[in-house]
Structure 1
Amino acid sequence: MNETAPYASKPEDSLGRLYGTGPSPTRSEFQRDRDRIIHSTAFRRLQHKTQVFLHHEGRHFRNRLTHTLEVSQIARSIARALRLNEDLAEAVALSHDLGHTPFGHAGERALHRAMAPYGGFDHNVQALRVVTQLENRYAEHDGINLTWETLEGILKHNGPLIHPDGRPYGRYEEEGLPAGVADIPAVADLRLSSHASLEAQVAAIADDIAYNAHDIDDALRAGLVQLADFEDAPMAGPIVREVEERYPDVGAKRQTHEVQRRMITRAIEDVIAQSAAGIVEAGVASAEDVRMAGKTLIAFSPPTAEAEKGLKAVLYKRVYRDEAVMRPVRESEAVVERLFAAYMESANMPGRWGDAATTASDANARARIVADFIAGMTDPYALDEHQRLFDARPEFR
């Protein structure tokens, strides 16, 4: 890897881990984080968790694992071009969805509603619970003992959580900070009011690039739309028309792939150009300068940002809210809500989960245990548990 820029995160300058480890002769600290994430149980479970289309509707639809790998590849590409630390960008990208529930955002919405009396549910905070407390692979401690920089990136890759004066920031303004955010074990304060590293910001925008292109692909595979339906869509439209004009006689699948790869390439190139200029304009000379810059430095250009927002609106209307998608969404939300209510009532969960819920100090503690258990489920396991408790298995048809 080429020498990184002065404002890149440096593994040798890491604040370290909560539990000290000896140096590795072959890997940097951020490479070790990446490897620990890949070998975690929570990472493997992503292969059976929904991205947009429920996993059993078709084996070629993306799941949380394939989406995560795509985000990781895009993040490395951007980080390399900007001379950032590719390993930290990859580690944050690989871990950004570890806190997601079964059934995608539908499961998250349902669990958040169920947890409303107990502080709510947030998948970024849950990801941190996974890597700091719930993974129990090591003999000496809970969690997988990631560096401070990776933990910061998981928590703040979408931006700060609070303003400098303590007011909730961004999407937390309406409901306040999620429960548990103050209880994350780390070697140092995660500094909720500062921005995260450029590498974490890269992982966040890579997520946007990946799902914009790939949700179009999955929607076409599902038969919800045709490629021609995107001819006038922001961001995608010019590329669709270009591909249809240049390759009029190839099959729809090849046309779709051409559109997808061109969308990804142009989005990446746009981010690299805009971010390189923004970094220079901000005058940052270190990773700490980035945190104190007061704004996100990794971004789309204004025209692309506007087009990307418009494309999301089209996808929301034509795909995410299509009845063929919403019907299983409603049923999967009901599954999560039923499981939560049943576990809260009886603590009828296997092994250590049931024992912990039975001996919980109060309803808040019990609810958090139940939420941890449900959030860790794969789609098939959630359906198995629904079958066990209610003698019924939704088919989502």
Structure 2
Amino acid sequence: MPDLAPYAARAEASRGRLHPEPASGVRSPFQRDRDRIIHAAAFRRLQYKTQVFIYHEGDAFRTRLTHSIEVAQIARSIARRLRLDEDLAEALALAHDLGHPPFGHAGEEALNGVMRPYGGFDHNAQSLKAVTVLEKRYAEFDGLNLTWETLEGLAKHNGPIRRPSHFMAEYDSRHSLELSSHASLEAQVAALADDIAYNNHDLDDGLRAGLFSLDEAAALPLIGGAVQDVRAAYPDAPATRLASEAIRRVINVMIQDVVAEAERRLAVLAPVDADAVRAAGRPMIGFSGPMQDANQQVRDFLFGRMYRHWRVNRTTQKSKRVVQVLFSLLHGGPDMLPPEWRDRAGEAGSAQCAAVVCDYVAGMTDRFALDEHRRLTDPHIPG
């Protein structure tokens, strides 16, 4: 067994699975969770789900799949430094985006809008639904039957759930995830790793797409110092290599900051075990104050220069329209759903039908959503 800190989640002390299973002789419970996530259909579909750019806009841009892998790498690095369970942190990082619909945040906004009369849409709740209900690989149960610690972290990695969705509340009523408390340190690490990967790799993709220049990004304090260092070290390097060198240095600085801040907070709290972390009333994993401010400046820059760039705006609006049309047509005509979905949808226009259509659309890749939209709207294309 690795030398874990006393406040780390411990696989041998896991609260178990909803459906009891024999232990593995070669893998810990958290390692089995990670492997089940990797083999899940929802994980494979992340390959063709948008991060910012739709899949056909370029092969080198991030997708939800490559983003999740990058988050897992950062999460393992932080967990190792803090002597946490790396396998649990990795499993949560790999699973955190399983509930994202096609077309990134545009798709989520569209689904939330059409589902507002039925409680809205939240990708975190959808991730939980994917691994507990929608995956159908095993003969004895729906979902992946993950450990309590993985399900808890998936539901609460962004903090306590004050107003759970209908699904999350219903699931919690029969298998309590203690939604009002904080999650394990491993889940908190996965959430911060997501922030680190998201901002830095969107900077990389934005530069690659020509939405802004390296000099413009270097105006940000967090980025400027790294750019200055790499230009001094490699004065003849092309801009693309300078950008990659700068971004990897920024990632390293952010990881160092998270580790130092976590160690400071943990020294104050002195938790004796993982449950003491859950009961702390505040997160133990986070940026220092100055890094939080610097990170927010990067977010603001990306919002104005990338997420609201006119080229991205065009794609966003078209993507929203595709999701809205798909939902409207299928909610009003569930007889157009594939048989396994139609049988569960119930009456057209009902709340039950809305939930089933939402699950169907949320599980689509960008590519499948575009093809399905053509099949349902173009009379010249066979159904």
Q: TM-score range by the shorter chain?
A: over 0.9
Runs of 4+ in 1 over 6 A off after TM superposition: none
Q: TM-score, normalised by structure 1?
A: 0.93
Instruction: Return the offset for 1:209.
Output: 0.4
Given that 1:17 and 1:187 are in contact with CA atoms closer than 8 Å, whether structure 2 keeps it comes out as: no
Whole-angstrom CA distance in 2 between matches of 1:392 and 1:264 = 49
Compare 309-318 and 362-371 and name the one that shifted more: 362-371
Instruction: Return the offset for 1:373.
Output: 0.2
Structure 1 residue runs without a partner (length 5+): 163-167, 169-176
Aligned pairs for 1:248-327 (under 5 A) are 248-327=235-314
Q: Which amino acid in the other structure matches residue 78 of structure 2? A: I
Given that 1:30 and 1:91 are in contact with CA atoms closer than 8 Å, whether structure 2 keeps it comes out as: yes
- Residues 187/87 of structure 1: CA separation in 2 closer, same or farther (3 Å cut): farther
Instruction: Return the offset for 1:234.
Output: 3.5
Instruction: Return the offset for 1:391.
Output: 1.0
Q: Does 1:141 align with 2:168?
A: no
- Residues 235/344 of structure 1: CA separation in 2 closer, same or farther (3 Å cut): same
Q: Does 1:365 align with 2:352?
A: yes
- Render the CA deviation track for 1:330-364: whole Å, top value 9, x for unaligned: 0000000000000011011112112221x359811
Q: Does 1:17 align with 2:5?
A: no
Whole-angstrom CA distance in 1 between matches of 2:379 and 2:43 = 29
Aligned match of 2:62: 62
- Residues 262/10 of structure 1: CA separation in 2 closer, same or farther (3 Å cut): same
Instruction: Return the offset for 1:248.
Output: 2.2
Aligned match of 2:176: 189
Please identify which structure carries the higher helix content.
2
Whole-angstrom CA distance in 1 between matches of 2:359 and 2:177 = 22
Aligned match of 2:218: 231
Instruction: Return the offset for 1:310.
Output: 1.0
Whole-angstrom CA distance in 1 between matches of 2:287 and 2:60 = 29
- Return the match for 1:207 from 194, 200, 207: 194
Whole-angstrom CA distance in 1 between matches of 2:214 and 2:379 = 38
Percent sequence identity over aligned pairs: 54
2:222 is paired with a residue whose SS is coil
1:184 is paired with a residue whose SS is helix
Compare 231-240 and 284-293 and name the one that shifted more: 231-240
Aligned match of 1:157: 157
Aligned match of 2:233: 246
Whole-angstrom CA distance in 1 between matches of 2:29 and 2:292 = 34
Whole-angstrom CA distance in 2 between matches of 1:90 and 1:187 = 26
Given that 2:332 and 2:348 are in contact with CA atoms closer than 8 Å, whether structure 1 keeps it comes out as: no
- Render the CA deviation track for 1:255-287: whole Å, top value 9, x for unaligned: 011011101111111111110111111121100
Aligned match of 2:330: 343
Given that 2:8 and 2:186 are in contact with CA atoms closer than 8 Å, whether structure 1 keeps it comes out as: yes
Given that 1:16 and 1:187 are in contact with CA atoms closer than 8 Å, whether structure 2 keeps it comes out as: no
Compare 230-239 and 153-162 and name the one that shifted more: 230-239
Given that 1:121 and 1:179 are in contact with CA atoms closer than 8 Å, whether structure 2 keeps it comes out as: no
2:7 is paired with a residue whose SS is coil
- Render the CA deviation track for 1:171-228: whole Å, top value 9, x for unaligned: xxxxxx3231112268741111100000000000000000111001100111111111
Aligned match of 2:77: 77
- Residues 362/103 of structure 1: CA separation in 2 closer, same or farther (3 Å cut): closer
Q: CA RMSD in A?
A: 1.5
